[in-house]
């Protein structure tokens, strides 16, 4: 089994972290010899910092904490997690406990040598009805607009090969980062696998995505992302044409 980095973006997730981290270590110790666990504390205003200090004392150096003094948004937290990860494979899910890290072996089973991304999809979404409707609408719209092939962009239960991740650059600071990440991984032409996973009701805190300000920011960043990806594809096409017409002299 390759080495594995597991990280969680966390914002005001103090009540769920102890159980989540405990289950993570229990799962990883059965699966992988070389692993690390990282929590990105994204400017939490509750006692997330204190809980993480206690967990570090319990689990030792295999648990690392990255702290943002101010909230950088979901995209900022993911980018810090990817930057902090050092192992061959990188897995992340949210710190609120709505996914079961015990299902990580399902993803690892699909991670063969030619696979760059194993993406979960929710077997059934356990959220209030209005959130399910907004989430489904957003997922369909983003998949259509960006021509994304995976079925569930909004499922933050992902296993990514480090070398493929190193080939892309991410810029989003909001939840738009999921669209940017998946689209750029698909454009890298790595093989993608999908696995059904369970989604559980949120027991603590409040989702940051389903607030009016967050939704408006996400839509604005989606528009910027669409323009930037179109330009990237256009420039890549022109570069290929120029290389064919004017090959370098060696």
Spatial separation of the C-alpha atoms in residues 126 and 200, rounded to whole Å: 5
What is the structure's pLDDT at 138? Answer: 87
Chain center to CA of 17: 17
Task: Single out the residue of 154, 204, 144, 200 nearest to residue 181, CA to CA.
Answer: 154
The string of pLDDT tens digits covering residues 168-196 is: 999 988 889 999 999 999 988 899 999 99
Which domains are delineated in the chain?
Answer: 4-245 (3.90.550.10)
The model's pTM: 0.86
For the record, the structure tokens of 53 come out as 């200090």
pLDDT at 107 over 80: yes
Tens of pLDDT, residues 231-248: 766 665 544 433 444 454
Sign of CA dihedral 168, 172, 176, 177: positive
Per DSSP, what are the bridge partners of residue 89? 4, 161
Is the separation of the CB atoms in 10 and 97 below 8 Å?
Answer: no
């Amino acid at each position: 089994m390759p080495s594995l980095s597991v990280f969680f973006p966390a914002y005001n997730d103090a009540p769920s972290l102890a159980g989540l981290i405990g289950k993570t270590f229990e799962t990883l110790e059965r699966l992988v010899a070389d692993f690390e666990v990282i929590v990105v504390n994204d400017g939490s205003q509750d006692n997330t910092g204190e809980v993480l200090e206690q967990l570090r004392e319990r689990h030792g150096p295999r648990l690392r904490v990255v702290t943002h003094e101010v909230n950088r948004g979901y995209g900022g937290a993911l980018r810090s997690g990817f930057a902090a990860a050092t192992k061959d494979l990188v897995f992340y899910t949210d710190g609120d406990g709505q996914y079961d890290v015990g299902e990580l072996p399902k993803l690892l089973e699909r991670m063969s040598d030619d696979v760059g991304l194993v993406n979960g999809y929710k077997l059934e979404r356990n959220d209030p009805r209005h959130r399910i409707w907004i989430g489904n609408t957003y997922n369909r719209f983003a998949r259509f607009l960006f021509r994304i092939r995976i079925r569930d962009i909004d499922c933050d239960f992902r296993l990514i090969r480090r070398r493929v991740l190193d080939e892309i650059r991410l810029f989003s600071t909001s939840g738009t980062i999921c669209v940017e990440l998946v689209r750029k991984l698909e454009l890298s032409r790595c093989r993608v696998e999908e696995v059904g996973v369970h989604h559980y009701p949120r027991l603590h805190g409040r989702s940051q995505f389903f607030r009016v300000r967050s939704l408006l920011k996400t839509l604005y960043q989606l528009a910027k992302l669409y323009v930037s990806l179109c330009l990237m594809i256009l420039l890549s096409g022109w570069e290929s044409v120029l290389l064919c017409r004017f090959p370098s002299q060696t």
